[in-house]
Structure formats: C-alpha cells, structure tokens
C-alpha cells in the first residue's frame, strides 16, 4: 500500500487495504445488502477532513476551467428529439439541466482525487461491495474521475449514467437543495421499462428515494440501472462532488454526442470506440 492512502481515507474505520479484516468485512456485507436492495450504499466520513480540504482547494484552483452545460436533455442524456416515437415516450421528454464538470484530463499529476482513484485498494473494495468482479476503472479520459460542480440554481434532471457504477464523494454541500433522488433498479440489461421511467419523470413519487450526503461521505451507486437526479441548488454556496466511476467493459468510453454535451469536447478515443452497447440500453 502507498502511504499516501492513509492520509486520504480513514483507514482506521475503513481498513480497505486489508479486505480480510473483520471490520471491513462487516462494512462490505452492509454495502452489498444495501446495493442489492436499493442499488445504493453510503459510507459515512470515508475521507479524512484534511484530504477533503485538499480536494476542495484543488477544485477551486481550477474552477474557471469547469465546463458548465446548460441545456434541455432527456433521461438518456440526448438533446435531440426523435419524432418517430410516440409523443409521450420518455425519450421525448426534455428537462432543464445546469451542471458542470472539471474534466479528469485537466487534473494535475499529483492530484489528491486522481491518486485515490488510481489505488487498487479502492477498486478492490468497491468490487467487493458490489459483489462483482472484475470491474475496471473507466477508460474515458474526460469522465473517469471528474469533479462535479452545481452552482446556485443548478439542477440535474432525471437520467441514467453511461457507466455502470458511480462513486459520489461529497466535497461541499450547498446551503439548501441539491438533494440526490433515485429510483432503485428501474431498468436492467435488455429491459428499459419505459412505462415506469415515464411515471417517475411525470412526477410519481412511489419509487423515489432520497439520500442525504455529508462532506466526506462516499456513496456507491449503480447509476446505469437507477434513474436519478439532483434537485435545484438553493442559497449561495455551490455543490461540489467528485464522481469516480467504474465499469464492466475496460474498453468503452462515452459516445461522442454525450461527451460533447456533458464534457464540452470530443477526443479521438470517443470516435474510435463509438459502437453499439452490448447491454442493449440507451445512453
Ligand atoms: Fe448521474
């Protein structure tokens, strides 16, 4: 284990460097149960306060390089309408989105967050919590461990992620609002479940759960199968999160359309690797 890891993660509470310890086994068991039932699990105060400060300041140093995108988008992250579908199809429902990313390729070499993402200990711990192996770090150079910024009035409407597994690390909470809401296991490979997705988008709250994250908390989340959103940020303080992601396919990256819309640019890798997905689900 690299010594730097113990300055970032609270290894006393969460000894992820030793997956055989009874302490971590208990935590993994709880996460696995939560993930199976709710497709989401939270590990409180995973990151040490000092490291959180470092992450906060590395993001603020580059805050002017954050790509903010304000657009009308559907739950599959497309902004183009498809008139061949029925009028009330969820792919034809467009919602306001105002949200930004500090792309992963802009992180300095010695970045605190980049270092954490690259540690085998974190990958193996997340894999154990999910009960899925192997999982991989995401090959997308812009999106793999981006900082997410939601300014006052920012909003992230209902959507599915492109990557299967998303970690959310809360760095700075807004004064009010900016609440994460999700509908566990609403779609699965081969079954989009458009009817239920539409109900949620139309305002049905039956399936909706809320998650309250505090700074330093780590959330593990099955974002590709779980419809989710972040409510409008209220007050004067922005909401900062880091979103390291893991995938089942080590080769795949975002589609060019998706990358352009969300991260502001398309790299050659997005064009080279743009083929239909094997799980049959829409991005
Ligand atoms: Fe998401």
Give the tokens for residue 209: 């759960």
List the one residue out of 159, 163, 101, 162 whose CA is nearest residue 130: 163
- What sign for the dihedral angle of Cα 154, 46, 41, 58? positive
Span from the CA of 22 to the centroid of ligand 1 (angstroms): 32
The pLDDT score that the predictor gives to residue 65 is 98
- Judged against a pLDDT cut of 80, whether residue 283 lies above it is answered with no
In this predicted model, what pLDDT tens digit does every residue of 25-36 receive, in sequence order? 999 999 999 999
Span from the CA of 87 to the centroid of ligand 1 (angstroms): 25
Span from the CA of 228 to the centroid of ligand 1 (angstroms): 6
The pLDDT score that the predictor gives to residue 198 is 96
Span from the CA of 225 to the centroid of ligand 1 (angstroms): 10
Share of the chain above pLDDT 70, in %: 100
Residue 188's DSSP bridge partners are 191
Span from the CA of 223 to the centroid of ligand 1 (angstroms): 6
Contact 158, 95 (CB under 8 A): yes
Residue 232 sits at φ, ψ, to 5 deg, of -60, 135
C-alpha distance across the termini of the chain, in Å:
36
The mean predicted confidence, pLDDT, of the chain is 95
In this predicted model, what pLDDT tens digit does every residue of 242-281 receive, in sequence order? 999 999 999 999 999 889 989 999 999 999 999 877 787 8
Segments in the chain forming alpha helices (H): 22-38, 49-61, 112-117, 120-130, 194-201, 256-263, 268-272
The pLDDT score that the predictor gives to residue 8 is 98
In this predicted model, what pLDDT tens digit does every residue of 191-216 receive, in sequence order? 999 999 999 999 999 999 999 899 99
Give the tokens for residue 85: 């579908």
Span from the CA of 240 to the centroid of ligand 1 (angstroms): 14
Span from the CA of 160 to the centroid of ligand 1 (angstroms): 6
> Phi-psi bin for 218: left (phi > 0), alpha (psi -120 to 50), beta?
beta
Element (H, E) at 231: none
Span from the CA of 162 to the centroid of ligand 1 (angstroms): 8
Q: In what order do the strands lie in the sheet containing 156-159?
A: 156-159, 227-230, 180-183, 209-211
Span from the CA of 95 to the centroid of ligand 1 (angstroms): 14
Span from the CA of 31 to the centroid of ligand 1 (angstroms): 19
Q: Write down how long the chain is.
A: 283
- Judged against a pLDDT cut of 80, whether residue 154 lies above it is answered with yes
């Amino acid at each position: 284990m690299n010594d730097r890891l113990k300055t970032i993660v609270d290894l006393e509470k969460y000894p992820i460097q030793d997956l055989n310890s009874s302490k971590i086994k208990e935590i993994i068991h709880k996460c696995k149960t939560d993930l199976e039932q709710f497709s989401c699990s939270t590990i409180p105060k995973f990151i040490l306060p000092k490291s959180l400060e470092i992450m906060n300041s590395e993001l603020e140093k580059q805050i002017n390089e954050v790509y903010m995108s304000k657009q009308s988008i559907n739950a599959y992250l497309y902004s183009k309408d498809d008139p061949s579908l029925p009028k009330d199809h969820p792919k034809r429902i467009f919602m306001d989105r105002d949200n930004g990313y500090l792309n992963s390729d802009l992180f300095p070499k010695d970045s605190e967050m980049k270092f954490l993402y690259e540690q085998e200990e974190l990958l193996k711990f997340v894999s154990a919590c999910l009960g899925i192996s192997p999982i991989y770090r995401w090959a997308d150079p812009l999106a793999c461990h981006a900082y997410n910024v939601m300014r006052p009035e920012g909003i992230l409407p209902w959507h599915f992620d492109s990557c299967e597994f998303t970690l959310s690390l809360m760095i700075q909470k807004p004064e009010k609002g900016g609440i994460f809401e999700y509908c566990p296991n609403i779609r699965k490979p081969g079954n989009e479940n458009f009817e239920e997705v539409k109900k949620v988008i139309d305002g049905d709250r039956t399936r909706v759960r809320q998650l309250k994250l505090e700074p330093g908390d780590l959330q593990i989340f099955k974002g590709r199968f779980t419809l989710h959103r972040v409510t409008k940020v209220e007050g004067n303080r922005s909401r900062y999160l880091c979103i390291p992601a893991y995938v089942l396919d080590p080769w795949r990256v975002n589609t060019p359309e998706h990358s352009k819309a969300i991260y502001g640019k398309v790299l050659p890798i997005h064009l080279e690797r743009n083929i239909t997905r094997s799980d049959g689900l829409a991005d």
